[in-house]
Structure 1
Amino acid sequence: HHNRIRSIEASQLKPYVALETLDLSFNDITEIRNGCFPQGLHIKELYLGSNRISTLEPGAFDSLSRSLLTLRLSKNRITQLPVKAFRLPRLTQLELNRNRIRLIEGLTFQGLDSLEVLKLQRNNISKLTDGAFWGLAKMQVLHLDYNSLTEVNSGSLYGLSSLHQLHLSNNSISRINPDGWSFCQKLHELILSYNNLTRLDEGSLADLGGLHVLRLSHNSINHIAEGAFKGLKNLRVLELDHNDISGTIEDTNGAFTGLENLSKLTLFGNKIKSVAKKAFSGLEALEHLNLGDNAIRSIQADAFAKMKSLRQLHINSDSFLCDCQLKWLPPWLMEKELQSFVVATCAHPESLKSKSIFAVLPESFVCDDFPKPQIIIQPETTVAVLGKDIRFTCSAASSSSSPMMFAWKKDNEVLHNAEIENFAHVRAKDGEVMEYTTILHLRHVTFAHEGRYQCIITNHFGSTYSNKARLTVNVLPSFIKTPHDITSRTGTTARLECAAEGHPPPQIAWQKDGGTDFPAARERRMHVMPDDDVFFITDVKIEDMGVYSCTAQNSAGSVLANATLTVLETPSLIHPLEDHVVSVGETVALQCKATGSPPPRITWLKGDQPLIVTERHHFTSGNQLLVVRNVVLEDAGKYTCEMSNTLGTERAHSHVSILQSLGCRKDRTTVGIITIAVVCSIVLTSLVWVCIIYQTRKKSEEYSVTN
């Protein structure tokens, strides 16, 4: 090297058939063309770094495919890599760092079946197309640090089934794609330091079950969701130094759930002011915890109690609030022999200022005041109707005159542009205590407002977090299908439809005539089809007629729609008509009791002709009863009851017979009586004669015996 060589000539290399290492770095070579390396060479290591190479012709290294193991092309001027530029099946290391590559196309590295290490750091790569690393099934280390990547997706990592280390530090990655790691199941170490990450969402790394080391330092992470590390059961080292983390540690939210084997956690240089009791729940195996360079003011009792294996605890803060709530910490640190890594001095009360917490007597840790805010009114869970205005209220008290700051979070994220109303007043009973109230206004709420709201009240002594109040937005039910009035014949099927929308989805309920007694239900003729929004009554009967009400109800309210079911039935007799025999001058009543829907109209005929009504003819309401008084012989004959409604007409008949006079009727009765009397006399006379004959014969027999 350092010979200002401008080109590679095959003729000059041809004699060196036994050459294994060729170092041409630090020269002025500008291109690698086909034929530069003659056939027959056995070069294993080729160093071409620190040249001026800008052109790589496809197939330029093909003649070295049987021998080449290492190829260094770093510190050149390469801007583009041709697809399938490297057909080197034995190559294990390829260095392309410090070039000017902007884009990695799909299949660029196909043909590098044995490649284990690929260095692409310090280029200007902004995009990895799908299949960019396809064919690198044996690659273990990939360097992509110091580039301009904004995201990593699964398509670009497709094929890296053996990848062990992935270096992505010093890029512009702002979001971790949960689907980005599905093809890196064997990844052992992931480095994402010095990026633009602001949050870790739930399950964003869940596919990396084999990960041991995760480096996320020097980002802007301020939000770690519950379950963000779910699935990382084998993680041993987690670096979160130099971020904007505060609430994750100050307000318990289960951020570290799933890290049961984590041994080292570093949170150096964040914005942590207090440590909640359950901030590190789930980290029972932790051995090393670094909380240095945080202005920690308070640590809740037993915050580290479940870390049975803790050997190093780094704390460096001169801001401690040395009150009764911190009394537990010095003896616990000394008992666990962790004090050597802790530099902690008091900032309050004034009498203990600048003293080490280990130099403060136990009886000096007292709670004479409460400078750190204390929540006295919590925001309340609320159910709101879509479009309405709602508000959350939160109040705190403090004995300090330190300026107070207010913030609201929704689902653990700060609301920067929220409409907030803040005010303060002196507590009446003790003038030294101030009460502070913050009100969050939400106008014309939509579904986007749903979530968990929390207030944070902060002063110089720390932040206090309220409970999380849930906002649920509901929509009043509204009908998309309403039942309509229907008319059905008996024996057919009646169908009513009713459907409604709302949030939550409303429940549909039916009533008949304001109640829940359905004749059709008792007889198993009623069917409700919830998926089809249909209400059926089969084999319709008269008793099914009525007003049916459909009610749609959810937690926001209810709406009601009515429909009338009218049942039609052809006319029919309830009791058959009877024939009658009457005498002249008597009264006869003919009853035609009919049913039907609509109620039938009854007309009387005599001898198939309309009945001629006289003053002797009387009808009850509806013509169901015909009464004829003082009948005459002309009233005899066939009477017809004609029942009619919209469905048809039915007829029934009755025959009326008229006897001429009441006297004739009595003579016949007398004759009958005389006849019966004569018959009875004859019978009695015969019985008398039988008795006389019997007695006579008996006496004759007795006389004969005596003689």
Structure 2
Amino acid sequence: MSASMQPLNAAMYAVVFLLISRIELILGYDENPRTCPSPCTCFGDLLDCSRLKRLTNTLPPPPLHTTCDKQPLFLCVYRKLNNNEFEMVPDLGPHAANITTLILANNRITKISLEQLRPLQSLETLDLSNNSIVDIKADSFPALPLKNLIMNNNRISTLETGCFVNLSSTLQVLRLNRNRLSTIPAKIFQLPNLQHLELNRNRLRRVEGLTFHGLHALRSLKIQRNGISRLMDGAFWGLSNMEVLQLDYNNLTEVSKGWLYGLLTLQQLHLGHNAISRIRPDAWEFCQKLSELDISSNHLTRLEESSFVGLSLLDELHIGNNRVSFIADGAFRGLSHLQMLDLQNNEISWTIEDMNGPFSALDKLRKLFLQGNQIRSVTKKSFSGLDTLEHLDLSNNAIMSIQGNAFVQMKKLEELHLNTSSLLCDCQLKWFPLWVAEQTFLPYVNASCAHPLMLKGKSVFTVRQEDFVCDDFPKPQITVQPETQSAIKSTNVTFVCSAASSSDSPMTFAWKKDNEVLNDAEIHNQAHLRAQGGGQGRETEVTEYTTTLQLRSVEFTSEGKYQCVISNHFGSSYSTKAKLTVNSKLHNLLVLI
């Protein structure tokens, strides 16, 4: 390098050095150790002045070289000022425009205004939870790039029209839980980019149509624990991208397509802990993409053939903790993708004891929960069609009898949960302990005998094979089946059904028409003793019971399938179903001709 170039290079280095020094001075860098402004703490981009209980409406100016964990103050973009005594949004100084997150929860702020928030030109997240704000006025928010607004647990009772208009282009999350909102004005949320809205624990009782119109991008809406009893038609219309709707813990009484109108993309609907007693036949017409439906802890007593029509994409169905005792034949037809069905803690009995494959349409079902019902017997047809089932829970049922090979068709069963102390340990149960051990279900099964007396209280897994004998039959056995009949209109019809039992346990009788119990029917019952041959030439005395159903002056509406149910302490027996056909006198005359 020539001697003439050396002074030039030295001058260039000097200029660069002076420039860097000037930049460091402007940015607040120097060689002195940097400290966080007392009494706050700093970490990364966070300046934490929370829980000091001595900051009021203005912040003391920080020292010139205040830093945020080796960053200059204006790079401290996250500010935590929660748990202090602010009564308004404080002045955050000359660097307020750089703040992206501001946490002011647990203060004493009573209102927010455009002037207080205008300096926060980079603000993306604002947390004002646990303050004393009573309303959100139309001039509360300036135009900010706000994405997340959290105002839980205030005293907000009023939303003025246009209160969110200046946030319409950016807001994505709005949380207004635990406030005092009793009404929501229609179209108040003109927020086309909002994705998540939470209104839990307010005081809403009724949601009008078009309430949420304007929330075209909304994906989840939570309105739990409000006490809502009415959802008007079109209440959620306009939510064309909604995926999750949570309405748990309200006072809804029915599901109808009117208030579900427009929810074409809905995937999860949570309706647990309401007072729903009815699902209208066409309820799911507008939300057929549901994959999860929760109607647990309601007042349902019946599942009709139309209860779930249209839900062919459903994966999970929760109906536990209702009062379901009636499940129509075909109630689950069409649920071709269902993998989990929860029916625990209902009043189900004859669905399992007598129906022919009540779950046979669910050929993809993997988990079935039936614990806590009133099931007393399991038959070969109880679970027919469930070839893919892996988990079956029958615990907390007083199961007395399990028909031979009742579970054999479930080749993929991995867990069978069963606990009962009511089993009839006779020759028909001999197969059961061997099968349970062979399938390695022993950890999940706790089963003991109630009859005969010599085995009472013993685990079925400790009973010797030769002790499973059929010396008696305490559970009723049908001996006379009701017969199919044809009758002329306005004549009387009689159905007769008999059953015998070796037990002196009191009997109860019921007649059903098309699976519905006839509570007000004319029924006559009688009993008599008869001798029956026993083993080794012995005769035993059994009680035979006869129940008669009298139908007087039958009408065409009397047509149907009739069945008797005879029960005692050891279980129920179901007769075959006898069909009644009612003809007119003219029809009979034509037949004779």
TM-score by length of 2: 0.80
Aligned with residue 250 of structure 2, among 126, 147, 152 = 147
Assess, with a 3 A threshold, how the Cα gap between structure 1 residues 344 and 431 changes in structure 2: closer, same or farther.
Answer: closer
The Cα shift of 1:447 comes to 2.6
Match of residue 535 from structure 1: none
* Aligned 1:419-498 pairs, distance under 5 A: 419-428=522-531, 432-477=541-586
- Measured against aligned partners, the alpha-carbon deviations of 1:660-681 in whole angstroms (never above 9, x if no partner) come to xxxxxxxxxxxxxxxxxxxxxx
User: Is the CA contact 1:252–1:276 (under 8 Å) kept in the aligned structure 2?
Assistant: no
User: Secondary structure at the residue paired with 1:19?
Assistant: coil
Structure 2: distance between partners of 1:126 and 1:11 = 40
Match of residue 338 from structure 1: 441
The Cα shift of 1:558 comes to 3.4
The Cα shift of 1:130 comes to 1.7
Residue 106 (structure 2) pairs with residue 2 (structure 1): yes
Match of residue 121 from structure 2: 17
Structure 2: distance between partners of 1:558 and 1:232 = 46
The Cα shift of 1:392 comes to 1.2
Bigger drift between 58-67 and 264-273 goes to: 58-67
Bigger drift between 109-118 and 439-448 goes to: 439-448
Match of residue 254 from structure 1: 357
The Cα shift of 1:287 comes to 0.4
Structure 2: distance between partners of 1:135 and 1:218 = 33
The Cα shift of 1:18 comes to 1.2
**Which protein is bigger by CA-based radius of gyration?**
1
The Cα shift of 1:285 comes to 0.5
Structure 1: distance between partners of 2:483 and 2:583 = 17
Residue 135 (structure 2) pairs with residue 37 (structure 1): no
Tell me the number of residue pairs that the alignment of Structure 1 and Structure 2 aligns: 483
- Measured against aligned partners, the alpha-carbon deviations of 1:182-232 in whole angstroms (never above 9, x if no partner) come to 221211100000011111111421201110000000000001111110111
* Aligned 1:103-182 pairs, distance under 5 A: 103-182=206-285
* Aligned 1:33-72 pairs, distance under 5 A: 33-38=137-142, 40-72=143-175
The Cα shift of 1:428 comes to 4.7
Assess, with a 3 A threshold, how the Cα gap between structure 1 residues 378 and 91 changes in structure 2: closer, same or farther.
Answer: same
Letter in 1 for 2:484: T
- Measured against aligned partners, the alpha-carbon deviations of 1:89-109 in whole angstroms (never above 9, x if no partner) come to 111100011111111111111
User: Is the CA contact 2:181–2:204 (under 8 Å) kept in the aligned structure 1?
Assistant: yes
Structure 1: distance between partners of 2:584 and 2:163 = 68
User: Secondary structure at the residue paired with 2:278?
Assistant: coil
Residue 228 (structure 2) pairs with residue 228 (structure 1): no
User: Is the CA contact 1:203–1:230 (under 8 Å) kept in the aligned structure 2?
Assistant: no
Mind listing any 5+ residue stretches in structure 1 that lack a counterpart? 478-553, 562-707
The Cα shift of 1:267 comes to 0.3
User: Is the CA contact 2:531–2:541 (under 8 Å) kept in the aligned structure 1?
Assistant: no
- Measured against aligned partners, the alpha-carbon deviations of 1:352-392 in whole angstroms (never above 9, x if no partner) come to 11111111111111110000000000111122222222121
Structure 1: distance between partners of 2:423 and 2:367 = 25
Structure 2: distance between partners of 1:163 and 1:559 = 57
* Aligned 1:142-291 pairs, distance under 5 A: 142-291=245-394
User: Secondary structure at the residue paired with 2:548?
Assistant: strand
Letter in 2 for 1:5: I
Residue 589 (structure 2) pairs with residue 557 (structure 1): yes
Aligned with residue 463 of structure 2, among 348, 351, 360 = 360
User: Is the CA contact 2:282–2:309 (under 8 Å) kept in the aligned structure 1?
Assistant: no
User: Is the CA contact 1:318–1:347 (under 8 Å) kept in the aligned structure 2?
Assistant: yes
Structure 2: distance between partners of 1:302 and 1:82 = 61
Letter in 1 for 2:253: T
Mind listing any 5+ residue stretches in structure 2 that lack a counterpart? 1-104, 533-538
User: Is the CA contact 1:252–1:278 (under 8 Å) kept in the aligned structure 2?
Assistant: yes
Aligned sequence identity (%):
58
- What root-mean-square deviation, in Å, do the aligned CA atoms of Structure 1 and Structure 2 show? 1.5
Structure 2: distance between partners of 1:183 and 1:435 = 55
Match of residue 87 from structure 1: 190
User: Is the CA contact 2:282–2:306 (under 8 Å) kept in the aligned structure 1?
Assistant: no
User: Secondary structure at the residue paired with 1:249?
Assistant: helix
Structure 1: distance between partners of 2:553 and 2:592 = 26
The Cα shift of 1:134 comes to 1.2
Letter in 1 for 2:520: N
TM-score by length of 1: 0.67
User: Is the CA contact 2:257–2:285 (under 8 Å) kept in the aligned structure 1?
Assistant: yes
Bigger drift between 267-276 and 435-444 goes to: 435-444
Runs of 4 or more above 4 Å deviation: 428-431
Bigger drift between 261-270 and 195-204 goes to: 195-204
User: Is the CA contact 2:495–2:550 (under 8 Å) kept in the aligned structure 1?
Assistant: yes
Letter in 2 for 1:169: G
User: Secondary structure at the residue paired with 2:257?
Assistant: coil
Structure 2: distance between partners of 1:236 and 1:308 = 16
- Measured against aligned partners, the alpha-carbon deviations of 1:651-702 in whole angstroms (never above 9, x if no partner) come to xxxxxxxxxxxxxxxxxxxxxxxxxxxxxxxxxxxxxxxxxxxxxxxxxxxx
Letter in 2 for 1:35: D
Structure 2: distance between partners of 1:33 and 1:557 = 82
User: Secondary structure at the residue paired with 2:466?
Assistant: helix
